[in-house]
Structure 1
Amino acid sequence: MATLSTYMAFLGNAAEAFTHYQEVFGGELLLMRYSDVPQMTGMPFEPDPQAVAHAQLDVDGGRITGGDAMPGEEYAVRDTVYSLLYSRDDVERARELIDALVAGGGSMNMPFALAPWGSHYGQVFDRFGVMWSFDVAASAGEDG
């Protein structure tokens, strides 16, 4: 069975990010540091043993994966050119998740409300700069 998941590279704080995501979304977290994996031949860099080589969080409806970026890779995480779209079937649960991301140091980008196309939709940046979009289809949502 084919699957598609998100992969995010963090600038040295992947463990903190994935621990936060597990607190917000729940789910099963696998966190592997470079010290946990066998030495790999041909690595183009010497990894920090405490850096995250791979993180995987299985949440209701999907999977979030990532790790720490390779040394020398620097880029802006915060942007609106992408977001993680989390489609839910319960307006209240979507609001709870948004509130948890904001309470955890994030900021509202677009309030979660009834959108012109009939769904509830909103956007929030988490404290790591990742934009999360939440959508609840009109047939699953509630009024206002």
Structure 2
Amino acid sequence: MANSIATYIALPGTAAEAFAHWHEVFGGTLDLMKYGDEGMPDMDFEVNPEGVAHAVLHAPGGDIAGSDGMPGEEYPLKDTAYSLLYTLDTPDDARMLIQKLLDGGGSENMPFEQAPWGGWYGQVFDRFGVMWAFSTD
């Protein structure tokens, strides 16, 4: 296996819904394993059998991995300290994905428009509070 890097997100009990939504928006293939799935080992902590133990969306351009967070821990997602940057070939490709996130309950954080460096850039929060930044040349 070649070296790679992927984003891993711990969600507050919404991983199944979030990964299904991202799969619908971005395409690719989705691998999702719940705590209650056959073959999962017993955990040393209380788990929801419907909770996501591990998910990976193999989207065009990269992978997004994640799970539901550990019981009793806080997982604030909506913040501007991070974003998932998706670089695309054309502004129209970016606009299409931005619109899918907005139609899915997201909100615009920064309009997608010509950037001072000559490309195009904008930001959207999806309905789960994850900020997606979009960039094109």
Alignment of 1:41-56 (within 5 A): 43-56=43-56
Task: Write out the 4+ residue segments of structure 1 that deviate beyond 2 Å after TM superposition.
Answer: none
Aligned residues of 2:11 and 2:75 also touching (Cα < 8 A): no
Instruction: Name the amino acid aligned to 2:8.
Output: Y
Residue 44 of structure 1: CA displacement? Answer: 4.2
Unaligned runs of 5+ in 2: none
Report the secondary structure of 1:95's partner residue.
helix
1:140 alignment counterpart: none
SS in 2 for 1:35: coil
Structure 2 partner of 1:39: 41
* TM-score normalised over the length of structure 1: 0.90
Q: Which residue of 2 aligns with 1:92?
A: 92
Per the alignment, in what secondary structure is the counterpart of residue 2 of structure 1? coil
Tell me how large the CA RMSD over aligned residues is: 1.0
**What is the distance in 2 between the residues matched to 1:38 and 1:59?**
25
Which amino acid in structure 1 is aligned with residue 15 of structure 2? A
- Give unmatched runs, 5+ long, in structure 1: 138-144
Size of the aligned set, in residue pairs, is: 135
Corresponding residue SS for 1:38: coil
1:1-144 equivalent positions in 2, closer than 5 A:
1-36=2-37, 37-40=39-42, 43-137=43-137
